[in-house]
Structure formats: structure tokens, C-alpha cells
Amino acid sequence: MLPIAVDAMGGDNAPAEIVVGARLAVDEGTPVLLVGRSEEMGDTGDIPILEASEVIAMDAEPGSSVRRMKDSSLVRAAEAVRDGTASAMVSAGNTGATMASALLRMGRIKGVSRPAIATLLPAPGTTPTVLLDAGANSECSPDWLVQFGQMGAVFATDRLGIREPRVALLSIGEEPGKGNPLVKEAYEALEAVELAQGVFIGNVEGRDLLTDAVDVVVTDGFTGNVTLKTLEGSMKTLITALFASMSDRPEALEAADVLAPEFDALYRQFHPDTYGGAILLGVRGVCIISHGSTGATAMKNAIGIAAEMVEAEVVDHLTTAVGSAD
């Protein structure tokens, strides 16, 4: 396999933790190409490096940065995929700039109106739920949502092994007439179309996201991003409140100690790093977008997922599915 291009300069813990994560991935057998300023990377072992002199800041304006900073690690990583020197790109840096780099350098899959960010939500006791769009397009048309459903189903199969993924629209009631105008129109469009993969099951509500009710949840990027951040925030708040509530009684603290393995497993299950990052679906290459707070282990996981998606040929499957839906 061609190496995974890793943006060594992106993320709150770059480059140190990113490089450690890359080394862990290499140790597990995944080839990596580190992209960025080699003099800042520290000990990279035997990992090949693609030099890039510029770094797009976490809070920089995405579009103009990507256009202006042609020698940035993000742009160079995307070009490596385009040029066939890397098989995928991974970044924990500026999300908007990662999307823009992938879109401008790799280009869209033929027939795809807009790429979308797909993310995995934990559903205890069953496969995770795919949520898309998690933030690429803050305003969407009904047709785009139909494509998101199609792309999400392909991803659910390749990533999670779900053969016939159940695709639903995120709405405020299960009945067909419930929702805003976008959802109502998308509902009709999804009912009218035959998905190349997966089956449309109607609307679901926010409370269904972490359950077995659905495999792929489709929404616009504004609602999707608000939902994702709400989930992350609520999990953090609840877990923090749980630990805080135990510190008032010595017996409670002792009991909490006994329960450490259970708490730890729970924390890991609901932590955003668990699944290694989101994926940008609809561009001509695998592009993994990791959380800004990504540490070494999460980066290792993200690189592993990137390799897995390359081997699963998800881009080919998306091309076929979206092409056949036209």
C-alpha cells in the first residue's frame, strides 16, 4: 500500500504527538508519509518526510489560506494523494482548511454535488451510528441530503460491515410530514429514489442517535455539527458531574476506585477520539479529519482507519454508488 500522508503540523498537540502517533502506526505495519517542517518534528525514526514550509493555523480562514499557502502541510498532503505518492491523508488541524485542501487538490467524485463529513457516534451494544453531514455544508439542498444518504450507506458498509444500512433523516418527529422544509423535501426525494446501497427508513429523532434504531443519519451540516458538539459536551458534563459527585464521601471514593475499570471503559466508549476521526466523503481520495485535541493514540487510530478505508476501496464504491444514482 502507498503510505498515508499525515499532516504533522495540524492539531493542538502537533507536531510531537502526531509524530509519536505516526510511529505507532508504522510499528503496527501501516506505511506513513509525514508532511511538514522536518526540523520541528523531532525523532521521526525511519518515516519518510515530505517537506512543507508553511502551516495553516487552527483558526485561519480556510479557503483563502489554502489558496495562498501552497507550500502548507495540508495542501502538500492533499497533493500527495492526488499525485499518487500517498493513498490517503490525515489531519488533526484546521477542519475547514483540511476540507478545502482535499476538495481543491483531489477534486470531487464525478456526480457528487457536495462532499460531506461523516462521523461515528457510539451506540452501546451495537454498531456505531454514521452521522453526516457533521459540518461541511451549513446550508444544504434536498438533493444533497439524498446524496449524503447514499454516501453514508456506502461508508457504513465499508467501515462497519453493515450490509444493508438503514438510512434516516434527522427530524423533529417520525411522521413523514414532520420537520423543516428541507427535511420534508428530502423525505420525498429519498422515498422516490432507489438507493444503490442501503434502505431509507424515514425520520428519526435526536434520541435515536445512540441507539440501534438506525445506521446512517442524514442532516444538513449546521444541524449535524450542533448535534455532534451537543453530544460531546453532554457526555463530558455527565462524566465530570459523576466524578465530582463522588468526592464528597470517603466510602463513595473507595467504591469509585473499585469501579475504575467500568468507568474507564465507559469513558473510552464515549470519547470523541475512539473512532479516530471523521471522514470527508465525496472527494477523490480518503481524507480523515481528526479532532483538534488528537493525541498519539488517537492519531495512530486515525491512520489505521485511513489505511482500512483505502483497502476497502471506499472511494471506488462511492463513485459507483453516486454514479448509478444519477
Is 207 an interacting residue with respect to its own copies (CB under 8 A)? Answer: yes
Count of residues near its own copies by CB under 8 A: 60
Among 51, 262, 313, 316, contact with its own copies (rule: CB under 8 A): 262
Among 64, 245, 293, 324, contact with its own copies (rule: CB under 8 A): 245
Is 139 an interacting residue with respect to its own copies (CB under 8 A)? Answer: yes
In angstroms, the CA 56 to CA 59 distance is: 8
- CB 273 within 8 Å of CB 143: no
Among 12, 42, 259, 268, contact with its own copies (rule: CB under 8 A): 259
The residues, any chain, with a CB within 8 Å of residue 29's CB and separated by 6 or more, are none
In angstroms, the CA 198 to CA 151 distance is: 10
Largest Cα span, the chain? 64
Between 140 and 321, name the residue whose CB sits nearer to its own copies. 140
Among 27, 188, 191, 254, contact with its own copies (rule: CB under 8 A): 254
Is 226 an interacting residue with respect to its own copies (CB under 8 A)? Answer: yes
In angstroms, the CA 31 to CA 305 distance is: 13
Among 208, 271, 297, 308, contact with its own copies (rule: CB under 8 A): 208
Between 1 and 252, name the residue whose CB sits nearer to its own copies. 252
Q: Which part of the chain contacts its own copies (CB under 8 A), choosing from 83-91, 232-240, 277-285, 308-316?
A: 232-240
Is 221 an interacting residue with respect to its own copies (CB under 8 A)? Answer: yes
Q: Which amino acid is at 253?
A: L
Q: Characterize the bridge pairing of strands 129-132 and 216-218.
A: parallel
In angstroms, the CA 184 to CA 191 distance is: 11
Is 56 an interacting residue with respect to its own copies (CB under 8 A)? Answer: no
Between 170 and 310, name the residue whose CB sits nearer to its own copies. 170
For 285: left if phi > 0, alpha if psi spans -120 to 50, otherwise beta; the answer is left
In angstroms, the CA 257 to CA 262 distance is: 10
Counting DSSP H helices and E strands in the chain, the numbers are 11, 11
Residues of this chain that bind its own copies (CB under 8 A): 123-125, 135, 138-139, 170-172, 179-181, 183, 205-211, 219-223, 225-242, 244-246, 249, 251-252, 254-256, 258-259, 261-262, 265-266, 269-270
